[in-house]
Every structure is written in C-alpha cells, then in structure tokens.
Amino acid sequence: MTGRHRVSGRSESRGVADRGAAKRAYTAVVLVAVAALIAGLGIWAGRSEEPEASGDALPDNAASGKVPTGPCAPSDTLVPACGAWWGAYVPYAGNGSLKDAVLGFEKRIGRKLDLVYNYHDMSGTELDGQLLTPDEQELGRDRLLMLAWESTVWTEPHHENWTETQLGWKNIASGKYDEEILDPQIRRIKAYGKRVFVSFDQETDARIKEGAGTPEEFVAAYRHLRDRFRELGADNVVWVWTVSGYLGSADEMKALYPGDEYVDWIAMDQYNYYQCHNTTDWKDFLRSQQPSYAWLRENISDDKPVMLAEFATAPDADNPTRQRDWYTRIPADVKKLPEVKALVHWNRPTSDKAACDLTVNDGPGLDGYREAGKNGYFHQPVPSR
C-alpha cells in the first residue's frame, strides 16, 4: 500500500482520526487473535473451510460468459495481447461495501474496470483476512481480481491507520502458518476456479525496515507460498511480484526476486507526488514511470509483463489542468513502455492534506482519467475463466 512508499529512503506515515468505539472493539479482538496466533493456540482451527470445487465445475459467481478467443485474447497468465488492463484500487464505501465503492467509481469514470485490486491481511477474520469475499466474487464475475495478501495482522479495519503486527517471512517460509492461515485461503481460491492475480507482500522492499525479515527470507516465503498453492492444486493463480520501484532500494529489490519460475508478472508502485512531499518537481506520467520500468526490465526480467500496480498523480493547486493533462497523456505515453500490460490506479489520499489527494473522484483529475479510459488500448476482452 502507499503507506510504504519511500521518499529519500524514508517511509511516509499517514495516520488518520480514530474511528470510535467500533474500531477500538475490533482492535481489541484482533490483538487478542494475534497473541493467540503467536502463542500457537490455533485460533483459526475452528473456522469452517470452503468446499473444494468438484471436477471442472465453477461456482455460479465465478463464471460470466464465454472465454475470449481470437488475436486479442489474453494468455494463460492473463497478459492482454492488444493493449493493457485498466484497473483501480478503490477503498470500501462508507457502508462497508466494496461492491458499492467500485460501482460508484465506475459510474464516475464512465466505464467498467477490467481489474479490481484489493488488500487482505493474514488475520483469518471475515472482514479483512478472508480472500475472495462475497463482494469480490460478485465483482469478479466480469472483472479480473487482484488480491494483495500481506503477511501481517492489521490493527484496525481495512488498515485504516496503517498499523499492523508482522508475522515474519521466516515463519511463513517454515510452514508454521500453513494449516491454520494459508491452507484455508488457498482452498477458497481453488474452489473459486477463475484465474486471479495474487501479490504477496507488495512493495516488499519497504517491508524490510518494518521487521518482516531479510531478502533471503522473503524469497523463501514467496517460494513456499507458491509451492503450497501447487501442493493443494490451486493452479488458477497468476503470480505478481511487486516492489516500490524506488531506485534507492535497487540492491534490495534485486535480492528480493524469487526467480522467473515463481513469478508471472513484475510490478511497481510509482507516483507523481509533487508537493505532497514538499518538492517542486512535477513528473509527467512517462517520467514518473519510465526510470523504474527500465530498471526492472534490465535488472529483474526482460520478458515478464509489467504491471503498474499502483499509480496516480497529486494535484497542482496553482495549475489544476496539469492533473487532467497528466492522465490524458497516458494512452500515448504508455505505448513507450510496451511491456506495461496493466495499469492500476490508486484512488485513495495518502494523507488529509489537499496536496496528497491522489483520487480522481472529481475535477480535472476525473476529467483526464475518464478521457484516458476511453482509449481503445484499454478495452481488452476480459476472460470469465
């Protein structure tokens, strides 16, 4: 998440106001759960598990029509042949519904998203720790899903204040949490049947200083997780490896790569933060993305598709049309980054400062984003399987 984005090597903190008694009650429950988990008491053991899919059958909520065919049909790893996916991360609506939030966002931007990106912790709770929630499954009927799975337990609902407890990469790699945490969620994905993107501990280079572990431990954890999916027969996952793209972490990013045989897509989260971080440097879309894109291609993989797993621009209060123009230039500029096959907008402010509002919910930003989304390059046939 963007709470881990770095500026000059520093992580940005983005606390927000307390949500009151309901949030405190949730926090108490989660902290007790964490304590029980660490003590090895198996607090998730009593949770009911989803039934596995029988044969080749898909649940009703996983199918939405015929599989695309022809020259523009996507590959087995969901690489679109004739353009790029147009996606977004949209925070939950005030009523707690992801579906309502996404549908409202789509109404504003004048189109359906190809890809919906959502985040989960490893608490096992129904609110945030259950992969493929009912809303996700319904949205996934005619959209792709991207699930970011974090090896942490969040302190408050939907990671509101960005605080969490690390479970530790070495513990994931050792299999300590397989039976009680990983396996039930893997079985849910297997039962879903439809292909989904999964990103394990995205922006992983920023997590080292947060205490998640060493690069070697991350590689072991990532490989263990993918191997565990294979062992349980959940072969409907497309694996995304996501780093911040901050080139000050170049050595760490190289050390964190699990290897081509474990990764289907490589991804980065780069922004034009402008005055959000007290600078005067306005980076247009291409300049905000091209350096890290080129580095990934040269140093990580020159044949994997690239995803802009989070991207956005801050506004310029002195020149509002700049934000509109930043987005309208994307269809032309992204073709200069030919291996970028998915663009996922981060539609959430990074703080309560106006200069850090990265959303495109209204104004020039919305105008530009709407215009970019009309381009045929971002209208690819979305598979239903």
In this prediction, residue 385 carries a pLDDT of 76
Neighbours of 253 (CB within 10 A): 25
Catalytic residue ranges = 203, 310
In this prediction, residue 247 carries a pLDDT of 97
Catalogue the E-assigned strands of the chain.
6-7, 10-11, 85-89, 115-120, 144-149, 152-154, 164-166, 196-200, 237-243, 265-269, 306-311, 340-346
The per-residue b/e assignment along 47-73, b for 16 or more CB within 10 angstroms, e otherwise, is eeebeebeeeebeebbbeeeebeeeee
In this prediction, residue 88 carries a pLDDT of 98
Number of H helices and E strands in the chain, helices first, is 12, 12
Contacts of 28 (CB under 8 A, 6+ apart): none
> Cα–Cα distance between 358 and 349 in angstroms, integer?
5
**pLDDT level of residue 56 (50, 70, 90 thresholds):** very low
Q: Is the pLDDT of residue 313 over 50?
A: yes
DSSP secondary structure string for all residues of 135-153? HHHHHTTSSEEEEEE-SEE
User: What average pLDDT does the structure give for the chain?
Assistant: 87
In this prediction, residue 279 carries a pLDDT of 85
CA distances from 196 to 49, 147, 236 (A): 19, 7, 7
Q: Is the pLDDT of residue 242 over 90?
A: yes
Domain map of the chain by residue range? Answer: 62-378
Q: Is the pLDDT of residue 20 over 60?
A: no
Domain over 62-378 is classified CATH 3.30.930.10 = no
CA distances from 113 to 144, 265, 378 (A): 9, 19, 10
Query: For 315-357, what is each residue's pLDDT tens digit?
Result: 999 999 999 999 999 999 999 999 999 999 999 998 889 999 9
Percent of residues, the chain, with pLDDT higher than 90: 78
Query: For 254-307, what is each residue's pLDDT tens digit?
Result: 999 999 999 999 999 999 999 998 889 999 999 999 999 999 999 999 999 999
| pTM, to two decimals | 0.86
Contacts of 63 (CB under 8 A, 6+ apart): 141, 194, 384, 385
> Cα–Cα distance between 323 and 312 in angstroms, integer?
10
In this prediction, residue 23 carries a pLDDT of 38
The DSSP element (H or E) to which 364 belongs, if any, is helix 363-373
Query: For 45-54, what is each residue's pLDDT tens digit?
Result: 333 333 343 3
Query: For 97-141, what is each residue's pLDDT tens digit?
Result: 999 999 999 999 999 999 999 999 999 999 999 999 999 999 999
Query: For 354-374, what is each residue's pLDDT tens digit?
Result: 999 999 999 999 999 999 999
Percent of residues, the chain, with pLDDT higher than 70: 83
Q: Which of 214, 225, 201 is nearest to 251 (CA)?
A: 214
**pLDDT level of residue 41 (50, 70, 90 thresholds):** very low
In this prediction, residue 70 carries a pLDDT of 87
Q: Is the pLDDT of residue 36 over 90?
A: no
Q: How far apart are the first and last CA of the chain?
A: 28
Answer whether 86's CB lies under 8 Å from 343's CB: yes
Answer whether 322's CB lies under 8 Å from 282's CB: yes
CA distances from 44 to 33, 48, 53, 347, 362 (A): 9, 9, 22, 32, 42
Query: For 292-302, what is each residue's pLDDT tens digit?
Result: 999 999 999 99
Q: Is the pLDDT of residue 175 over 60?
A: yes
In this prediction, residue 10 carries a pLDDT of 31
Pairing relationship of beta strands 6-7 and 10-11 according to DSSP bridges: antiparallel
**pLDDT level of residue 251 (50, 70, 90 thresholds):** very high
Region of poorest pLDDT, from 221-225, 310-314, 337-341, 350-354: 350-354
